Structure 1
Amino acid sequence: MKNPSEFSQTKFTKLSDDIKQWGLALGFNQVGITDTNLHAAEAEHQAWIAKGFHGEMDYMAKHGVKRTRPAELVPNTLRVISARLDYFPVNTADSASVLQDGSKAFISRYALGRDYHRVMRNKLQKLCEKIQSEITQYQVDDFSYRVFTDSAPVLEVALAEKASLGWRGKHTLLINKDRGSWFFLGEIYTNLPLTTDQPASNHCGTCTNCMDVCPTQAITAPYEVDARRCISYLTIELKGSIPLELRPLIGNRVYGCDDCQIFCPWNKFAETTDEPDFAVRNGLDNISLVQCFAWTESDFKKNMAGSAIYRIGYEQWLRNIAVGLGNAQTTTEIVSALQSRIHDSSILLREHIDWALARHLTQHHK
């Protein structure tokens, strides 16, 4: 490719505008473009790692600066195309009501439908194919790219913020002024010298709702999360035993946690998705803990096929539900469900069942 300075800025401005329109036509809710300068975010990320807040997520540290320097991950990267895809499903049971009913299993709303990785990647790939098919009319003879969706060392929130898709909230998720935070992000690293967007401004103000409602107080400071205390980390990323002191705080959250989003005032502007792949599957938006705990491994594999939940595996799924059952109000049904698996071959599961039963048999909830 020629030196970017040789190209007409008008030509690349038009191409940039067209890429955004093509993205919308493919189903994305917003597309923005940014450069690769993440110096400020790099310092914050390194400080976060130094504190050990990433817990057992070794992949957050092992790639060094590739996460914060896109051109070192993908050589010749000049721009990042950042895309937003809303995910909140239609006709979903009220999140707050499910959380308040201790007999139900609360599952993070992003995981109620099909695995977003495949959906996002397919759309991003189609956008790249569209660019490839149209690129010659812009007199560009070299278009290279690589697609990402939460699958590589990419600082997606920082990039999306620079691409004008929203701002990084105090809970560290991206917030869009018009659509809240119920969305996925995906990226295309490219060598095209596209016209960049202006970074979004921050509108959190003095609000601390997300910090105040976090069940485990994992948001240790504005814009800083100690993953080791975060329920999403504990139920998804942590493979071993959940710390005893945190188990009672998890409540009935068996896969992820949405409290910081549920109580964010900007989500009053959120809209439901029209993406069919994100529709609720298997009644997961309003299912009982006992029902989930009764699944055999084949049931789990069948019901969670194509779901983001599938990757945590059957043992970890039961571990999480055992904690939820331990936090529920004592009933004969719940105690019987726990006792039915007390001789399970998994040492990890038995440990959490024993803990849950002890809470009920000592009349903890009465």
Structure 2
Amino acid sequence: MRKLLLRNVGDGLNLIINNKSHHDLTVDFGGDENVHSYCYFDNSFLLSHFHADHYNGILNCHHHPFCHWNLENFYHPAMPTFAEAKEFFMSLLTMNIRISNNHPIQNTIFDYVRRLNRRPLNFRAVSKGDIVVCGRRKYEILWPPKELIEEDALTDIRNAIKDFEEAKESDRQLSEIYQNISLRYAEVENINNIEAENTSDINRLTEFEGNLSEIVQKANKSLRKASNRLSIAFRQDDNLLFLGDLESSEINSVVTDLVNNHNTVYDILIAAHHGTHWHRSLTSINANICLASIGQTLKRNIKYEYKGISNKLVRTDEWGDIIITKRNRVR
């Protein structure tokens, strides 16, 4: 890694890892402030999980008709195998569209990225054990699992689907969006292998009326928590450990594997869920620098325990954009 840039996007994430000239790995592009449209992305993009606040910056590119990217790969979390996988995925996509006023109503984020890219794009769903290569650097995917068997996580997902069904009955716009999504995925057996092709209506954006009802807000909260459990986590040798938006129990699972494989010392740790999620197992991890991408809403929830496992905790709400050079100098 030659340079790392963690942009100050408030409560969101935009991480750019520069491996060498024109070999960047960009992780997420979203937040609630300072999310300006880029006119150029290069090489590889990794979406940690399907939350609109982690990719709403991509949607902003709609306002720049000449914005084109030069990506080769677009990585995203694979949906693990479990009975309700397809239903959960469609519910989550539907809710993301409903809460995003600049989201293309009949298009997924895959459609949008394909439209913006100047060359054919490889979409790849990744899960635990997969390797992502960018600029000759190997990134080992630590989460999500290929099969979901943890009962707590399955319970959260089932409760989220139940909350979504109740919200869909009470919210006409949510129901209409879901009908479009259902038609899109009706014949899809494996949602991890889908590749978007229909982009003819990419410019038709949602314009929703009024505020979200309490029942829709409840469903959104449930879906977000369940989706956190399936967020991507990865490591790059002993240089970087990225914990995504994992919940406490998933942090424990990832760290347990790292400890068992003697992979506990890192130059840089990206704290879980903007520095607000923690599990006591993290005391087994040692990092030189811990980074937290956090804004005004979440900063009250930051876990200062991260100071105890690192030599320095650096936060975007205090530092602004954070740049770490090859010799781990922060500026």
TM-score of the superposed pair, with normalisation by structure 1: 0.23
TM-score of the superposed pair, with normalisation by structure 2: 0.24
